[in-house]
Structure formats: structure tokens, C-alpha cells
Amino acid sequence: MPKEVPTGISKTNKSTAAKAPKDKPLLHSIKGGKAAPAKTPAGRNAPAKSALGKADAAAPDDAPVIGLNLEPAKLSPAMAAYFKKCQDKLGFVPNVLVAYAFDMAKLETFVAMYNDLMLGDSGLSKLEREMIAVAVSSQNRCYYCLTAHGAAVRQYSGNPLLGEHLVMNYRVARLNKRQRAMLDFAVKLTASPWTVEEGDRERLRRVGFSDRDIWDISAVAGFFNMSNRVASASDMRPNTVYHGQAR
């Protein structure tokens, strides 16, 4: 008889290793109008310092927020109010906002486009838009967006498994035909946009999507193809709080 069970860890096993530090201080600093990087080791040198040591000890693996050394700007009144609203309603300011906060024009256009696409009127439900976000981000293997929007899918759907499925391989999710066609289109548009043609649009129409819906699917898929790249290019790190949400 085999001597050990698959993971070799007993049911009562309780890791005593230090957990990764929470990003709370980060968020407090934002309330005062200063983004996190000011308090953490300077951007590009940090990674070397926080490398996982010989003992595999937990490390502040997701600080700083980005791997670029950008001085936070003074928040505009609109953005200061928005950050406060995030803090009040979510309990934290999403790191992507912290990352963009070095320049108010860039932060404001990003927020405006994001909110219109993800939260504005659409024939797609908010969950469906988040599902696209995660399927696209999985194709692009984007750590930031998979974490933040995987949490959103878990929250909106009340189905933690759906979030896992979309993060790992959307083809294992048990979707209805509408949502499967929607994600097939978004992922094809991500992987090889030059091959998308009228036949692909027709497939969406056949499962009930309007031409306006097709635009919205495309625009959300496009947006995350942008965000995935900004996040990967800048080594953007998600707020640690996302990982535990809605599991």
C-alpha cells in the first residue's frame, strides 16, 4: 500500500509560515492623495530584494504596485472623490487606479472609458462583461486582470467555480450557447484578430446578440487587450484582498 496520500499534507496541517503582507497601508496612503509606491522600495529595485528565499518564506510578493518608478501626481478633485468612494464602498482603491495616478489626464480617461464599458448601458449584463474580461485576460495570461476580474465574476455570479473556470480555461465552464459564443468570439478576437470576419459576427447574431451587442463584446474584449498589456508591461500587481473575495 502506498505510504503517502497525494499531497502529503494532513487534513489538520496548518502552515505556520508567514503570510504575504496585506496591502492596507497602501490604501491608507492613497486616501491622503499619495499613491503607494512612495512608501515601498523604489520600483525596479524591489523585485530583487523580495525574491523568494532559500527557505521558501512568504514575501511581499505583490509590492510595489508597478515595476515603473512613477511619481504619484496630486489627485484632481474628481479623482480624489472617486478614490474616496472606492475606499468607502470597496474598502480599498484598486491598484490599477493607483498605477495611473501619476497623471490625472490618463487616470481620468481610463476611468471614463472603463466605467462606460463595464458599468454603462449595454445588452450585456455586468457579469457577462466581466466574463469577457477574464476570458481575454486568461488568453493573455495577465496576472493583474485575472485576479481583479476573476473576483468580480465570482461576486456577480455568486458561483465561485465560474470564476475559476474562466481564469484557467473558459472551455470547461458550463455556459449556455449565448455566453459560449460570446467568449469564443472574444478569445478569437484576442488570439488572432485578423481572422475575425462576417461569419464570426453571424454566429453571434444567431444566438441572439444585436449588432450593438457585438460592438460591446468587441469593445470590452478590446479594452482588456489594452489593459492586459499595460499591466504586463508595467508589472502591475493586484490588491491582495481580491484573492479571498467571494470564494
Distance CA 87, CA 77 (A): 15
Of 121, 128, 76, which is closest to residue 97 (Cα–Cα)? Answer: 76
CB of 43 to a copy of itself, least distance (A): 7
- The single residue among 82, 101, 124, 135 that binds a copy of itself, judged by CB under 8 A, is 82
Q: Does 74 bind a copy of itself (CB under 8 A)?
A: no
Q: What would the grid cell of residue 92 be?
A: 480599498
- The single residue among 30, 101, 124, 162 that binds a copy of itself, judged by CB under 8 A, is 162
Q: Are 228 and 145 in contact (CB under 8 A)?
A: yes
CB of 103 to a copy of itself, least distance (A): 8
The DSSP symbol for 19 reads P
- The single residue among 27, 124, 135, 173 that binds a copy of itself, judged by CB under 8 A, is 173
Q: What would the grid cell of residue 156 be?
A: 456577480
Distance (Å) of CA 119 to CA 108, 111, 129, 130? 16, 11, 9, 10
Q: Please, which of residues 90-149 interact with a copy of itself by CB under 8 A?
A: 90-91, 94, 96-97, 102, 105-106, 108-116, 118-120, 125-127, 138, 140-143, 146-148
Q: Does 89 bind a copy of itself (CB under 8 A)?
A: yes
124 burial type by CB count under 10 A (0-12 exposed, 13-18 middle, 19+ buried): buried
Distance (Å) of CA 242 to CA 26, 38, 83, 227? 14, 22, 17, 17
CB of 7 to a copy of itself, least distance (A): 5
CB of 239 to a copy of itself, least distance (A): 11
Strand, helix or coil at 135?
A: helix
Q: Does 2 bind a copy of itself (CB under 8 A)?
A: yes
Q: Does 81 bind a copy of itself (CB under 8 A)?
A: yes
CB of 44 to a copy of itself, least distance (A): 7
- The single residue among 25, 39, 61, 207 that binds a copy of itself, judged by CB under 8 A, is 61
Distance CA 207, CA 60 (A): 46
- The single residue among 33, 41, 123, 160 that binds a copy of itself, judged by CB under 8 A, is 160
Q: Please, which of residues 28-57 interact with a copy of itself by CB under 8 A?
A: 43-44, 47, 50-54, 56-57
Q: Does 197 bind a copy of itself (CB under 8 A)?
A: yes
Q: What would the grid cell of residue 207 be?
A: 444566438
